[in-house]
Structure 1
Amino acid sequence: MAHTPPKNIIIIGAGIAGCSTAHYLSISPYLPSGTRITLVEGTKVAAAASGYSGGFLAKDWHGTATASLSTLSYDLHSQLAKEYGGADKWGYRTVDTLSVEYDATRPSKNKSPVSWLPDSMIHASRQLGDQTTNAQVHPGLFTTFLSEQFLSKPNTSLVLGRATKLDLDGQGKPTSVTVQLQQGGEKQLDADAVVIAAGPWTGKLSVDLLGHRVGGRLGVQGHRAHSIVLKTKEALSAHCLFTSMSMEDGTQGEPEVYTRPDGTTYICGAGDDAPLPDTAADVIVSPVLIARLLKQATELSPVFQTSSGAQVIAEQACYLPIADRGRPLVGKVRDVEGVYVGGGLSCWGITQGPGTGLVLSELILEGKAKSADISKLAP
């Protein structure tokens, strides 16, 4: 049977997966004239991890289930940056990536692999990736750009509010989505295709909209991660560091350090199991975990110390979306027609976001994912 493209597409979630899906739907040559695409977002565009994660991109660091999607998506990042000026608009650049062992409890005679780390504390380092396979973006700027590109197309819209109900017809196909609007009241949106891309809220929302029998198979939880953004006196070299630190007081840490082209440095650390709040607006930042990150940063390098002119630009937290089954959920949902999911991308959401959006657009409009093998990611 020939695939019939939908006429009213609802995408729930304006993070990287939702905005990428919206973007690629809106520019697809297979999009029927007059088809309406609506992005529904409970808080704001890039309100969660898509706005507050590090934006590190890796082409070939992935297992067999996600290797094809990740390669596609990495290449899409490069294409989008070239087409739209991503270096200036969202800080796209290729980077060198290193593993670094820091130990302040014993001196080292090794030379530091980067100029802004002290020689005396670096005991080992090795190259994890180079500028052919590693890159970075500012995730919030990138996701926002995609949303703006989408909204510049005809028959597109952004509705701010929480999806509370999905109506299905007798054949199990969507007919409408009810949204509790941010400004109050409800709005019923016509729908014959629905994409659930709600980050760490995907699991709960799937059960709310589809019931336990179907939605319960789309389990995604949230894992809280903290980060800080520092502005250094001088711009640092284009490196992303995965560190192992033994601090002067004997404590341990593994902060990740991503320098950015705007002169800031993003530093994130170990997460915790704080419960997922109802919305991204309700995420709480732990002062204890932020203080730990600041201590690690200032001990790792003098360039991050206030005495060297460094400034703290942001102290933040977000929840990484972790799929219960251990690999992402990308594809058509079984036992219902016209419902799709893009979720559980974990720490690789920014890398895999554009590819997820493209293959979902292909599934929705053409009936088949053509650009990547997502067979092992089927919900």
Structure 2
Amino acid sequence: MTSPSSTQPAKRIVILGGGIAGISTAYYLSHSPSLPSGSSITIIEGTDIAAAASGKSGGFLAKDWHGAATASLSAMSYELHAELAGKYGGKEKWGYRVVDTLSITTDATRKTKKQPPLPWLPHDVHSSRSLGSTKTNAQVHPGQLTKFLADQVLFKPNTSLLIGRASSLSTSASSPPTHTIRVDTKGREEEVEADVVVIAAGPWTGGLAKDLLGEKVGLRLGVEGHRAHSVVIRTKEELSAHCLFTSMTMKDGSMGEPEVYARPDGTAYICGAGDNEPLPRTAAEVSPSSDAISKLHTQSRALSPLFDPANGAEIIAEQACFLPLATRGRPLVGKVPGIEGVYVGSGLSCWGITQGPGVGKCLAELILEGKVKSADISKLAP
């Protein structure tokens, strides 16, 4: 029997963005039996794979913490994370594991006789409650996962990575149309032709859409960036498999809400301290605020003495990334109206790692089969 993929014309697919959404789309396209023989996949990325939030976010996964518009996508994608980890050894390769999640309130200005819920927390935890268990919460190291999936794509024939920024897009009058993308690769221009274009450029999606598709479409695909800061600290003692959402009152009365994700590699990822710094042109130009980083260190050391270098802790990273926020308040996943062969997967906010594989699978189904079967993304249409 002849397979459908051998009878369909080959597709030239270009994906703009090397983060979790773009790489997951490339992965599920390249591994689909519906991909026509001879098809090519080109990933165009301005800096490097996982250079932005997909490499510097916390990697917390939640199955059922989502609103109606993204509930189906998130639950499906959460299961994909478990499936990928089981298939490729994610526990060893990108730190996949299920976790328990707590909400805790600390107050250094008031004494309490309560015992802390975890041995590595201080004695000023005034309250704690469970937010999720190992049945619905997990974690990954997002950069390691994204780079691993990229490797599963780029070893295949007719796949490539082009480092550069797409500067313009022109569309032929033929049916179906051919899209020609001009790419600036460090001062040298290249042209890439495509039958299918996927815009998955995280917080740069809105600006890129304006450049490539015009002001009107760009506004419709509005995605902006919000800078968030994080530190990664290696502790001398091992931490339990917990993620913490905190509300802290410091000794001087100041407040903080850092999130803490203990990782199986012996480090803790601690994030918070967002601001409205303008989005730079590329991920390579993102840098953290020294004040925000200092605040995170102060909060982390107040939260647990294990995070203090005086007690043997090692600071591994001090960093920032921009979360992609869709201006309409929910992600953009699907066909771009009025332009044949152009799709978008972006605006996933803080849930990019949870939802990334699901976005990739849904877009692969839509591109190759004409409809999405794995999740209900009807409320996410651009």
Give TM-score, length-normalised by structure 2: 0.97
Shift of 1:200: 0.2
Aligned match of 1:80: 84
Q: Which runs of 5+ in 1 are unaligned?
A: none
1:309 pairs with one of 304, 307, 312 = 312
- In structure 2, the CA distance between the partners of 1:26 and 1:96, relative to structure 1 (3 Å rule), is same
1:264 pairs with one of 248, 263, 267 = 267
Shift of 1:174: 3.8
Aligned match of 1:349: 352
1:150 pairs with one of 149, 153, 170 = 153
Aligned match of 1:242: 245
* 1:251 to 2:254 alignment: yes
Provide the rounded CA distance (Å) in 2 between the counterparts of 1:138 and 1:127.
23
Say whether the 8 Å CA contact 1:207–1:215 is kept in structure 2: yes
Provide the rounded CA distance (Å) in 2 between the counterparts of 1:378 and 1:5.
26
2:300 pairs with one of 272, 297, 306 = 297
Aligned match of 2:378: 375
Provide the rounded CA distance (Å) in 1 between the counterparts of 2:178 and 2:61.
35
Shift of 1:347: 0.1
Say whether the 8 Å CA contact 2:62–2:78 is kept in structure 1: yes
Provide the rounded CA distance (Å) in 2 between the counterparts of 1:293 and 1:6.
50
Residues 59-116 of structure 1: per-residue CA shift (max 9 Å, x gap): 0000000000000100000000000000000000000000000100001111111110
1:153-302 paired onto structure 2 within 5 Å: 153-170=156-173, 173-182=177-186, 184-302=187-305
Provide the rounded CA distance (Å) in 1 between the counterparts of 2:273 and 2:179.
43
What is the one-letter code of the residue matched to 2:132? G
Residues 332-374 of structure 1: per-residue CA shift (max 9 Å, x gap): 0001100000000000000000000000000111111110000
The number of residue pairs the alignment matches comes to: 376
Say whether the 8 Å CA contact 1:5–1:364 is kept in structure 2: no
Provide the rounded CA distance (Å) in 2 between the counterparts of 1:63 and 1:256.
21
1:332-343 paired onto structure 2 within 5 Å: 332-343=335-346
Q: Secondary structure at the match of 2:302?
A: helix
Shift of 1:175: 2.4
Say whether the 8 Å CA contact 2:10–2:38 is kept in structure 1: no
Say whether the 8 Å CA contact 1:174–1:194 is kept in structure 2: no
What is the one-letter code of the residue matched to 2:118? V
Aligned match of 1:28: 32
What is the one-letter code of the residue matched to 1:238? A
Q: Secondary structure at the match of 1:216?
A: helix
Say whether the 8 Å CA contact 2:273–2:296 is kept in structure 1: no
Residues 227-263 of structure 1: per-residue CA shift (max 9 Å, x gap): 0000000220000000000001110000000000000
Q: Secondary structure at the match of 1:61?
A: coil
Say whether the 8 Å CA contact 1:5–1:365 is kept in structure 2: no
Shift of 1:215: 2.2
Aligned match of 1:91: 95
Provide the rounded CA distance (Å) in 1 between the counterparts of 2:248 and 2:264.
25
Q: Which runs of 5+ in 2 are unaligned?
A: none
Provide the rounded CA distance (Å) in 2 between the counterparts of 1:174 and 1:93.
43
Q: Secondary structure at the match of 1:271?
A: strand
What is the one-letter code of the residue matched to 1:73? S
Provide the rounded CA distance (Å) in 1 between the counterparts of 2:9 and 2:307.
53
Identify the range of structure 1 (157-166 vs 4-13) with the bigger mean alpha-carbon deviation.
Answer: 4-13
The sequence identity of aligned pairs, in percent, is 65
Say whether the 8 Å CA contact 2:106–2:247 is kept in structure 1: yes
Give TM-score, length-normalised by structure 1: 0.97
Q: Secondary structure at the match of 1:289?
A: helix
2:116 pairs with one of 98, 109, 112 = 112
2:321 pairs with one of 318, 323, 327 = 318
Aligned match of 2:58: 54
What is the one-letter code of the residue matched to 2:49? V
Shift of 1:117: 0.3
Q: Secondary structure at the match of 2:214?
A: helix
Provide the rounded CA distance (Å) in 2 between the counterparts of 1:342 and 1:328.
8
RMSD of equivalent CA atoms: 1.3
Say whether the 8 Å CA contact 2:10–2:37 is kept in structure 1: no
Aligned match of 2:71: 67
Say whether the 8 Å CA contact 1:178–1:188 is kept in structure 2: yes
* 1:10 to 2:14 alignment: yes
